[in-house]
Amino acid sequence: MAQTLTDEQIQCILQGIKIPPQPQILVDLQMEQVMPEPDIQRISELIQQDVGLAGTILKVVNSSFFGLKNRITSINQAVNLIGIASVINLVNGLSIKSQMSDETIVTMNRFWDTATDIAQVATQIAKQVGYPNPDMAYLLGLFHNAGIPLLMSRYDNYLDVMERSYAHPEKRVVDVENAELSTNHAVIGYYTAKSWHLPKILCDVIAEHHSATRVFNASHQKDSEGKTLLAILKMAEHVCGNYRILGKQEVDQEWELIKDEVLTYLGLGAYDMEQMEAHFEELGIGLRSYSW
């Protein structure tokens, strides 16, 4: 049976939440909650499309308040455990906190779109290669770039830095960010994921998700679940055109360095990749265009 959170507990949870939810998702959730009988499944589906909302829900359900023995990684399960009343109160609290200008919304769209697309594609890749926990692949795709909006809010020039980092043919994305900002979005994302009580393996992969060249080009790196998740993520990023949407680049520098090793590791070939790209293009993923 779901436990109802008090107003004080909700305010405590919302402290420190800095990734704003997507305005359209909030509108859809508000429309659902005023229905005579709100559909908890529909609410769950909407929440799992948004980084900030999904992170908040997982932070709540995996907190000491619920005292669960096993960490929850399914947004649907989390929403059902928390209960519709508390979920609606949390969503409304985040809605009040996130007042964004039109300019900010346009900028954030690049982040929101890539997060949801990569999460969906990562789930499908996980199923295709036989990874037994697609929910984990989904969460990794959704949350791996959580550090980006936090750095955007702190540094006015962050998007310029990020574009330069994707353009560099030799340095890692995080190396360029470190040189210019003394931090990077992978590190910030790692600590954000920890604060949301995500499983350790996801936090660790988020921290290393721009170190794939080291992981896949080094003979001493053993097969592991973390390596599998990283491979799924990098493939999903490339299929979704992350390098074009976030990095504004025509060439995916990172993918070019690791694609053969990643495909071999996942047991896939160039033909599988082409088929997958064609499939997602039919769904409108990987074809998004932005006026740069």
Which tens digits make up the pLDDT trace of 181-213? 999 999 999 988 888 888 999 999 999 999 998
Q: Which residue has the tokens 């053993």?
A: 222
All CATH 1.10.3210.10 domain ranges of the chain, comma separated, are 102-282
Rounded alpha-carbon distances, angstroms, from residue 137 to 34, 39, 119, 134, 249: 32, 26, 7, 5, 25
Q: Torsions phi, psi of 14, nearest 5?
A: -75, -15
**Cβ proximity of 198 and 192 under 8 Å:** no
Residues 6+ apart with CB under 8 A from 227: 215, 216, 221, 265
109-142 burial: b if 16+ Cβ within 10 Å, else e = ebbbbbbbbbbbbbbbbbebbebeeebbbbbbbb
Q: What CA–CA distance (Å, rounded) separates 47 from 174?
A: 29
Q: What is the model's pLDDT at position 160?
A: 93
pLDDT at 131: 95
The closest alpha carbon to 17, from 53, 63, 65, belongs to: 53
pLDDT at 99: 57
Q: Give dist(CA 52, CA 35) in Å, integer.
A: 24
For helices 7-14 and 51-61, angle between their N-to-C axes, nearest 10 degrees: 120
CATH topology of domain 102-282: Hypothetical protein af1432 (1.10.3210)
Give me 46's structure tokens: 């909407």
* Rounded average pLDDT per 10-residue block, the chain, 292 residues: 61 63 87 87 93 89 80 90 85 65 75 89 94 94 91 88 91 93 92 88 96 82 88 95 91 92 93 87 66 46
The pLDDT assigned to 63 comes to 81
User: In Å, how far are 57, 94, 264, 271 from 14, measured between CA atoms?
Assistant: 10, 7, 43, 46
What per-residue confidence (pLDDT) applies to 20?
79
DSSP H helical ranges for the chain: 7-14, 23-33, 40-47, 51-61, 75-82, 84-97, 102-128, 134-143, 147-154, 158-167, 173-181, 185-195, 200-207, 212-217, 225-239, 242-245, 253-266, 270-282
**Cβ proximity of 268 and 232 under 8 Å:** no
| pTM across the whole model | 0.84
Q: Which residues of 255-265 are buried (b: 16+ CB within 10 A; e: fewer)?
A: bebbbebbbeb
